[in-house]
Structure 1
Amino acid sequence: MLVGDGARLAEAAGDLQELGLGPMGTTQLAYLDPPYNRGGSFNGYDDNMPRHEWLAYIEERLVAARELLAETGTIWVHLDDAEAHRVRCLLDEVFGVEAFIADLTVESNPKGRQLDRFFAGSHDRLMVYARNPDKVVLDGGIAAAVNPADFPHVDSDGVNFRLLPLRNTNKRFNPMTTPTMTYPLYGDPETGAVAVDPGPGKVEILPVFGDLTPAVWRWSRDRAVERVDELVCRTVRGRSGTRIDIYQRDRHEVGRIKKLKTIWLSQEVGSTDTARAELRAAGVDGFRTPKPEALMRRIIELSTVPDDLVVDLFAGSGTTAVAARDLGRRWVVVERNPDTVRDVILPRLGLTGS
């Protein structure tokens, strides 16, 4: 664990080991929440640099972060709209266009900033890139996003499940575009039993859309053979007539996750006001755009597992360190303002020293 001198990062990536950041290429998550370059000074940073200087300042840190990252790691850069599009171009240059994962929208101010000139800004940008897109390890979902109410049925083992159409509901996929995904299955609508081969009491079932035009299955025939026990057939009475359709029993099992949307709402991850309240409860004030703990926990949970190394190159109020510690990750945060280190970060972590 370390809180170091961030000013030296601009000199050379080779200094990182001297700062205690560990061997190069071992960081699973690098997080940057730099000054947004909107003017003024705060928390020891000059936030009114000429654009070319500010971009050079950011680029040096992106290069340093790339050297820190493991092949499986990701970098997350948090900005608002003022410079985000330019920084995304830098990310393309430093990490490669193919390394892009997502450009997330994070609701930071649900009420909207009413003093903004035209529209009441209410969001930040969170850009995510891979160190190596072929080896990256990243969960796009979390267990908390799964709603048990979406699984209303209960099987004989007491596990909740839902029924998903085996038919591909996207009309772009049809017998003309994907002919190998059209094949007959056989089912008994009275019992719900499904088979891949004909049998007594079973009728042939081909995939059709609701208007009875030909469709295709989501599974190949080989996959249907392997997982036929997960299938059930039912009689469906639609506006275009009666048909027999096949469904997959989709079980709500322990450890199941759901992919997150690319818009993260404040009720899920907190807001700037949430973060300020958290800091006030810790006896800290004076930060203009702190990040809420729920947001940092989500980022860390998505991109790391316990004992992975998390690095924050702009520690600020220390929320990344708090979240990483609570989640059992190893962490390093870098902050150039010694007063912030002494008066904010170390007390929040229950540490002493410099």
Structure 2
Amino acid sequence: MPDASTYPHRGQPWNTLHVGDNLDVLPLLPAGSVDVVYTDPPYNTGNDFAYADRFRDASHTDPYAGRHAAWTAMMRPRLEAVREVLAPHGAVFVSIDDNEAAHLRLLMDEVFGEANFLAQVVVNLNPKGRQLGRGFATSHEYVLAYARDLPSCVVDGSTTEAVDEADFPLTTADGRRFRYLPLRNTNKKFNPVSTPTLHYPLHGDPVTGRVSITEFAGSTALTPVFGDGRPAVWRWSRPRVEERPDDLECRVIRGRGGERADIFQRDWLHREGGRRKKLRTIWLAEEIGSTDTAVAELKALVGHVFESPKPTGLVRRILSTLPSDVVVLDPFAGSGTTGHAVALANAADGGTRRCISINSAEPTREGSNARLAGLDTVADITRARLTAVADRVGGGLEVAEGRSPDIR
């Protein structure tokens, strides 16, 4: 790992830690000042959680209903406060397990609006599965993602890391990799009735492969059809065909009625700016890390002082869908994974992301590894990790206690 001197401090620190209850700290942030939120709130495992505040609802006699109501009452004002600091183009990502996934989904529909739902991602954090307890060996959790305002949202749910070179098996004489895609739109929702401007003839020669808007010697006029012979439409408009004729090729194929000529797009592996592909909604441990790798990351910095950290790869995947200068907020900072991931992302691509981490001074458990290491509160763990990150990766650390974090 590079040391801090490799990435000198530029302007504001990459990481700011604010110690305090997030319900008190969040109102100190300017409205609309945060681009993206990732957080891993306390899970409702049946034990008391630290945020036993005035919003707690103890009116239920059913212990399960009471627990869900108390957890939801704790989360609601915090999500509402997050919404206030989130920019119109921003988004929020929340980790959760099965205990409260259904209730959190409904709560976020209420706070952020069902129309702003982006995804419910399944995250494979425990590939071996949890062997304790009854039932199945659970190997996943979730990340719920919502936009602040979907039409304005800058999240790009695609990334270069999702592209598989094996999907591009063909190579040109000059070494470029590509695959053939039908120029015909294969979705039957799109047809000459629904999109008449995309149903038009193209001229192609399967001997030379040439394709043109206009007729030429040796060409045949071709209109798009589905496999059953019904009329279809092209995916490209006439102007786009005129702009990129060299990316099209006329080929002979064998259909239900025998051989016929058709037109295909040469879809290239690499184009200027890099190729991107949509991320799937199942993220595997071998792609983003696991609970075991997360424990190892933390142990390498400050020791085995936190039971269930998230891997930095999970947060870095989220960051890969956003610009490289975003302001990131984690209102339940835990061990400091989000701030660590922001520093790693900046070091990797030269970005200027900044992270605001908020953590309460919740006491660590008596006799725990953290307490034995002299870390009396969970915020002490966050501070120790982000201090080590600043030393090893760079970017600095500002600790803001009793004042508003400066994110200008």
**TM-score, reference length from structure 1:** 0.88
- The equivalent residue for 2:291 is 272
1:123-180 C-alpha deviation (Å, 9 max, x unpaired): 1111111112121101111112112232333447653322211012234434455444
1:10–1:57 contact (8 Å) kept in structure 2: no
Separation in structure 1 between the aligned mates of residue 231 and residue 117 of structure 2, nearest angstrom: 37
| In structure 1, distance between residues paired with 2:87 and 2:176 | 38
1:193-218 Cα deviation digits (max 9, x unpaired): 00112221101112233444433222
Structure 2: how far apart are the matches of 1:296 and 1:346? Answer: 15
- Equivalent residue, structure 1, for 2:350: none
d(CA) in 1 for partners of 2:260, 2:334: 61
What amino acid is the match of 2:23? A
**What whole-Å deviation, never above 9, does each CA across 1:272-307 have from its counterpart, x for those lacking one?**
11211222222422433211111111111213x233
Contact 2:68 2:103 in 1 (8 A): no
The aligned counterpart of 1:293 is 312
Q: What residue identity is the alignment partner of 1:345?
A: R
Query: Retained in 1: the 8 A contact 2:51–2:74?
Result: no
Task: Verify the 8 A CA contact 2:298 2:385 in the aligned structure 1.
Answer: no
- 1:77 aligned to which of 76, 94, 97: 94
1:316 partner amino acid: G
Question: 2:40 corresponds to which letter in structure 1?
Answer: D
Aligned partner (choices 14, 18, 29) of residue 4 of structure 1? 18
Measure the CA separation in 1 of the matches of 2:232 and 2:260.
13
Please identify, of 187-196 and 344-353, the stretch whose mean Cα deviation from structure 2 is larger: 344-353
Give 1:333's match in structure 2, choosing from 357, 368, 373.
357
Q: Secondary structure at the match of 1:302?
A: coil
Question: Is the contact made by 1:193 and 1:233 (CA closer than 8 Å) also made in structure 2?
Answer: yes
- Name the TM-score, length of structure 2 as normaliser: 0.77
Q: What is the count of residue pairs matched by the alignment?
A: 344
Partner of 2:144: 127
- Secondary structure of the corresponding residue to residue 134 of structure 1: helix
> Whose relative contact order is higher, 1 or 2, with alpha carbons under 8 Å and at least 6 apart?
2
For 1:314, the equivalent position in structure 2 comes to 332
Instruction: Give the alignment of 1:169-208 within 5 angstroms.
Output: 169-208=186-225
Query: Which residue identity is paired with 1:323?
Result: A
Q: CA deviation at 1:187?
A: 0.6
AA at the equivalent of 2:69: H
Say which is worse superposed, 261-270 or 204-213, in terms of deviation: 204-213
Q: Is the contact between residue 143 and residue 258 of structure 1 (CA under 8 Å) also seen in structure 2?
A: yes
Aligned residue number for residue 342 of structure 1: 380
Equivalent residue of 1:2, what SS? strand
Q: CA deviation at 1:108?
A: 1.3
Q: Which blocks of at least 5 consecutive residues in structure 2 are unaligned? A: 1-14, 53-63, 347-352, 362-375, 392-396, 402-408
> Could you tell me whether the CA contact under 8 Å between 2:299 and 2:305 is conserved in 1?
no
SS of the residue 2:274 aligns to? coil
Give the Cα separation in 2 of the matches to 1:77 and 1:223. Answer: 40
- The separation in 2 between residues aligned to 1:142 and 1:114, in whole angstroms, is 34
Instruction: Check whether the contact 1:346–1:352 (CA below 8 A) recurs between aligned residues.
Output: no
Task: Establish whether residue 323 from structure 1 lines up as the match of residue 341 from structure 2.
Answer: yes
| Sequence identity percentage | 48
**Which residue of structure 2 lines up, in the alignment, with residue 36 of structure 1?**
43
Partner SS for 2:321: helix
The 2-side partners of 1:299 and 1:6 are apart by 26
